[in-house]
Structure 1
């Protein structure tokens, strides 16, 4: 298996993967709505001999109170059910964080399982004075600083691309 950038030929397989991994079409529709609409944009797939078994997406989010903040959101991440708990998700997160950093992100936020994301260094976003624009549990909304000190003095409500409102 290898982690690589999504290419246009992967679009249908990424959609099918998200449909298989989540209940309903929300995440698949979100990926389709965001593709090519944001910059920076980090979209990676896990390719197992031509079969797309995982996908992860990072897109910009904004702190209106701090327009210079360079934040990205990890959302969504999907792994085919038969490949879950095999390291695919971890490999996608690690490479995605590396590429988000290379793209200039100072920090990444995620709404996810509080038992999973801390292994990568994510902590509750509230520790840095950050809140999600949507009502979510505090322990599930997390942030990881990619550039030391980037979150110093920041705080406020993180705003997502309008496509997230459809979820």
Structure 2
């Protein structure tokens, strides 16, 4: 890896970071992507954590970004257990698979722990996130609310404070702001039209 710098995102970075996010996710999980709009809207949400909206720079250019938000587990004993989630985490396509994503993730998790987050819950690929200590959340007694009858191997957990989840079982639902594009498709289409046109493709494995 080249020398890099990680710092907090500034307002002057917003459009660059949103374009980076769009490039990183375009045609990966669906036709086009909506992750850049999620990021755009999430910055005004009360649970958004500005201290954990981080950019990674190489040679003065932003090539990576991650954002975090506070969320909670609905524990089976009636408590709401405060914790964090994160994403999108984005690496510019020409810098992917070079270690920058894991570097940015591990750095951000250290800050999240310092801020008092006891654990993280996300949906993601265990092949990537397992390298940073994530495990399938069902093995820690946390169910995915949108897939309660399944072990949901894509629903992942990492304790940032040892023992934080001891004795806790419950379910987790993705925060509502992650569905902003689905809830208001007209606003999303108007926003996405501000970016350069890109072809929407169905890629191998998406059928």
Normalising to structure 2: TM-score of the pair? 0.74
Aligned length: 166
Measure, in 1, the Cα distance between the counterparts of 2:9 and 2:66: 9
| Secondary structure in structure 1 of the residue aligned to 2:164 | coil
Structure 2 residue 38 is matched with structure 1 residue 34: no
Question: Aligned-pair distance for 1:81?
Answer: 0.5
Contact 1:6–1:43 (CA<8 Å) still a contact in 2?
yes
Unaligned 5+ residue runs, structure 2? 27-31, 183-207
Cα distance change on mapping 1:58 and 1:11 into 2, 3 Å:
same
Question: Aligned-pair distance for 1:58?
Answer: 1.4
The match for 2:194 is none
Question: Aligned-pair distance for 1:130?
Answer: 1.0
Measure, in 2, the Cα distance between the counterparts of 1:75 and 1:2: 20
Of stretches 79-88 and 154-163 in structure 1, the one that deviates more from structure 2 is 154-163
Contact 2:117–2:160 (CA<8 Å) still a contact in 1?
yes
Runs of 4+ in 1 over 6 A off after TM superposition: none
The match for 2:22 is 19
The match for 1:163 is 177
Question: Aligned-pair distance for 1:35?
Answer: 0.8
Unaligned 5+ residue runs, structure 1? none
Contact 2:21–2:90 (CA<8 Å) still a contact in 1?
yes
| Secondary structure in structure 2 of the residue aligned to 1:62 | strand
Question: Aligned-pair distance for 1:160?
Answer: 2.9
Match among 108, 114, 122 for residue 120 of structure 2: 108
Contact 1:78–1:89 (CA<8 Å) still a contact in 2?
yes
Measure, in 1, the Cα distance between the counterparts of 2:166 and 2:48: 22
| Secondary structure in structure 2 of the residue aligned to 1:116 | helix
Measure, in 1, the Cα distance between the counterparts of 2:99 and 2:130: 15
Question: Aligned-pair distance for 1:40?
Answer: 5.8
The match for 1:59 is 69
RMSD: 1.7
Question: Aligned-pair distance for 1:137?
Answer: 6.8
The match for 1:89 is 101
